[in-house]
Amino acid sequence: MTWSLAALVLVVAAAGLLRWRRPAWYWLTLGVSLAVVRVLVRYASVMDACGLTVPPSRWRLTLARATNRPVPSPHAPRILRLRPTRTGLVLRLKLRPGQDAFDVAASCDRLRHSFAMYGVTSRELRSGVVEVRMTGYDVLKRVQMPAKVDTRPMRVPVALREDGAVHYRDYRVVPHALTLGATESGKSVYQRNLVAALAPHRVALVGIDCKQGVELFPLARRFSALADNQDTAAELLDALVSHMEDVYQVIRAEQRITADVPDAEIAADIWDLPEDLRPVPVVVLVDEVAELALFATKEEEKRRDRIITALARLAQLGRAAGIYLEICGQRFGSELGKGITMLRAQLTGRTAHRVNDESSANMAFGDIAPDAVLAAIQIPTDMPGVAITGDSTGGWARIRAPHTSLRQAVNTCNRYADLAPDLPALAPFRPALAIPRPLDAPAVESIPATA
Ligand SMILES: Nc1ncnc2c1ncn2[C@@H]1O[C@H](COP(=O)(O)OP(=O)(O)OP(=O)(O)O)[C@@H](O)[C@H]1O
Ligand SMILES: [Mg+2]
């Protein structure tokens, strides 16, 4: 008897310890089964308490009265599917007549407490069907990306969403993006994740890092062009604009429209071209964008205008030529001078890390999702890397990228170094790599690159 009691205490203590120190393992071992049982047992009463039930229909009441049976209880939405996942549960509900998706969304916080889950979100799948996603623990505290992700050309996983789903950066759906955040908020780590995720793909990476190249130059082996100061950046962007014009010439040459060419085969962007003719897509990563827009002298002002004009042209026309912009900075507003708000309007994807004031958050979301502004200000300082991202539906989500160290990103870039395409237009900016380093030298020194 005492032995079995001791064993029980040991199991409970081990479960408690696991839950505290390794919530993901706890979820996969014990948490998921307990949660399924809890949801199924409590479902009807919780739905009733949360006001998510409808009274029985009139004919049921009449039938009960006629047969002298007890009055039927109110109906909760029918469970179509209950699917356990790596991080939580996904519940698919069929709404009863008279209910709407907003009723469920408004009750998410109550459901979270009632089912003892960490987070609950809901979204409408189709009319009458709502998906409720629950997480069993704080998935953003220690981000672990699933082993299996749905990667496609120009669509890469970069972060985990707070509902446990993977956040993808899909360049063909959202060609250009802006990432804002205060200093030390995690922008460069986010960008590093992007580079590491894009490295195995057929894509040319172009980097502009005016912080003397400290973030992007260690990754130089996978880059086709790099710039670490404003002068080189201006020339590089001009070269990219002329590369874009060349790509348009290729598309034009392929566009011989005659009556016998089927509609679907008329090329309007690089993805319509046959694979052997398709120019390699280019992702342009800019870190600390404000550095490109600041000036002190008349000369520098001319250079600044040249840079902003080239960026605006790339944002305006780049998509069809397969040129995608990924811009990072602490602020990106009208105080940086003319042309900035126009450029910002063309950057569809918006991500905001922790910001210090409302006006910085407004630069990312003010014009698209006002409630995301509040969420961006509320990101705590002790959670670097947590960000708010606008999604394609007009909504927003809290995300966090995995903490990829510079060492890991360097290793990934070195492994795929031979995939870095040679673009003739960008050849002068190709990082020159030094002779192989001595074995005991630190990695970052091994690839001093000059643009
Ligand atoms: N996703 C993350 N998970 C855990 N820690 C992170 C994450 N992202 C960033 N950090 C931590 O925050 C620190 C600052 O990150 P990062 O250099 O990306 O900030 P930043 O926004 O680029 O700052 P700055 O504007 O000064 O360049 C990193 O050294 C890292 O320790
Ligand atoms: Mg940075």
Is 157:167 a contact under the CB 8 Å cutoff? yes
Task: Report the distance separating Cα 385 and Cα 401, nearest Å.
Answer: 6
pLDDT over 60 (residue 389): yes
DSSP tag of 340: H
Do residues 72 and 60 lie in contact, with contact meaning Cβ atoms separated by under 8 Å? yes
What tens digit of pLDDT does each residue of 114-130 get?
Answer: 999 999 999 999 999 99
pLDDT at residue 451 tops 50: no
Asked if residue 271 and residue 220 are part of one domain, the reply reads yes
Same domain, residue pair 267 and 404: yes
Q: Are residues 260 and 346 in the same domain?
A: yes
Residues 121 and 168 in one domain: no
Evaluate whether residue 273 is within a structural domain: yes
Neighbour count for residue 74 (Cβ, 10 Å)? 14
pLDDT, tens digit (0-9, with 9 covering 90-100), for 179-215? 999 999 999 999 999 999 999 999 999 999 988 889 8
Q: For residue range 281-302, what is the model confidence (pLDDT) as tens digits?
A: 999 999 989 999 888 888 889 9
Q: Quote the pLDDT of residue 224.
A: 94
Q: What is the mean pLDDT of residues 136-156?
A: 90
The whole-number pLDDT of residue 447 equals 47
How does DSSP classify residue 442?
-
Written as six digits, the tokens of 249 are 């010439």
CB 226 within 8 A of CB 206: yes
Task: Provide residues with CB under 6 Å of ligand 1.
Answer: 181, 183-189, 330, 384-385, 400-401, 403
CA of 327 to the centre of ligand 2 (A): 11
> Counting atoms of ligand 1 from 1, which one is nearest the CA of 185?
21
Is residue 439, in this structure, part of any structural domain at all? Answer: no
CA distance 451 to 171: 26
H, E, C per residue of 54-67: ECCCHHHHHHHHHC
Residue range 96-114: average pLDDT? 92
287 and 383 in a single domain? The answer is yes
CA-nearest residue, atom 14 of ligand 1: 184
User: Does 90 score more than 80 pLDDT?
Assistant: yes
**Which candidate, 101, 120, 124, places its Cα nearest to that of 109?**
120
**In one letter, which amino acid is 204?**
A
340's tokens: 């900035």
Nearest CA, atom 15, ligand 1: 186
Cβ-based neighbours of 90, under 8 Å, separated by 6 or more: 81, 82, 83, 131, 132, 133, 134
User: Across residues 62-72, what is the average pLDDT?
Assistant: 85
230 and 129 belong to one structural domain: no
Q: Is the confidence at residue 404, as pLDDT, over 80? A: yes
Q: Are 372 and 389 in contact (CB under 8 A)?
A: no
Pocket test for ligand 1, best of 179, 184, 288 (most atoms within 8 A of CB): 184
Whether residue 1 is predicted with pLDDT greater than 70 in this model: the reply is no
**How many domains, the chain?**
2
Residue 4 lies in a domain: no
Q: Is residue 181 part of a domain?
A: yes
The phi and psi torsions of 378 (rounded to 5 degrees) equal -80, -5
Q: Domain holding 271: CATH number?
A: 3.40.50.300
Instruction: Tell me, yes or no, whether 231 and 318 share the same domain.
Output: yes
Choice among 21-25, 67-71, 75-79, 442-446 with the minimum mean pLDDT: 442-446
Q: Which atom of ligand 1 is nearest to the CA of 353?
A: 21
Contact call for residues 146 and 86 (beta carbons, < 8 A) = yes
Among residues 210, 195, 218, 211, which one has the least CA distance to residue 448? Answer: 218
Ligand 1 atom showing the smallest separation from residue 183 Cα = 25
Say yes or no to pLDDT of 392 above 70: no
Q: Are residues 423 and 274 in the same domain?
A: yes
Domain extent at residue 123: 19-135
Question: What DSSP string runs through 96-160?
Answer: PTT--HHHHHHTHHHHHHHTT-SEEEEEEEETTEEEEEEESS-TTTS----S----BTTEEEEEE
Residues 347 and 406 in one domain: yes
Residue 148 lies in a domain: no
Expressed in angstroms and rounded, the spacing between residue 180 Cα and the centre of ligand 1 is 12
How far, in Å, from the CA of 190 to the mean position of ligand 2? 9
What is the structure's pLDDT at 46?
Answer: 94
Residue 446 pLDDT: 46
Atom from ligand 1 closest to the CA of residue 181: 21
CATH number of the domain enclosing 74: 3.30.980
